[in-house]
Structure 1
Amino acid sequence: MQQDKHPDYHPVVFRDRAAGYAFLTRSTATSGETIEWDDGETYPVVDVEISAESHPFYTGKARAVDTEGRVARFERRYGGDQR
């Protein structure tokens, strides 16, 4: 890599407050806050609103849109087939 061209890539802890979950990875993200990790080292911590631990799609709590019910309600309301 060329010097002074790429951002600093370092270990960072991402913490999902909604799920109470944190994970250590490498990133270019920075933060003024730090956290002591399980290995005894101190790393910058970045709080995120949502992660795979709390996202409805990944947790299986996603709501399916009831399109069939909406179509039936529309047909009842406006008389179905009126060509």
Structure 2
Amino acid sequence: MKPRIHPVSRPVVFRDRAADVAFLTRSTADSVERVRWEDGNAYPVIDVDTSSASHPFYTGGGQVLDTAGRVERFRRRYGADAASGSRPNEV
């Protein structure tokens, strides 16, 4: 690696305000605000709106699709043969 062209990677605390959870990880992001972590050291803290602790994809809070209704509508529209995947005999 060339010297002085890469950003400095440091420990940073990302704090999810929605879930009231904090993560200590390495990042090139920096902040003036500091927070005292569990190990007694002070780290820069960055507040985020969404993280894995509050995002619907990770928490299972996303909407559930009505797949049974979609299958029934497909069968009504195209018939049972199309749903089963069978094809008419070709000559």
- TM-score, scaled relative to structure 1: 0.76
* Bigger relative contact order (CA 8 A; separation at least 6): 1
Q: Which whole-Å deviations, capped at 9, do the CAs of 1:16-66 have from their partners, x for residues lacking one?
A: 000000010000011111000000000000001000000011101101355
- Asked whether 1:39 is paired with 2:51, we answer no
Q: Residues of 2 paired with 1:66 and 1:17: CA distance?
A: 32
* Counterpart position of 2:29: 29
* Corresponding residue pairs, total: 74
* Counterpart position of 1:53: 53
Q: Residues of 1 paired with 2:45 and 2:2: CA distance?
A: 27
* Counterpart position of 1:20: 20
- Percent identity, please: 56
**Could you list the runs of 5+ residues in structure 2 that have no partner in the other structure?**
78-91
**Could you list the runs of 5+ residues in structure 1 that have no partner in the other structure?**
73-79
The structure that has the greater radius of gyration is 2
Following TM superposition, where does structure 1 have runs of at least 4 consecutive aligned residues deviating by more than 4 angstroms?
65-69
Q: Residues of 1 paired with 2:18 and 2:66: CA distance?
A: 27
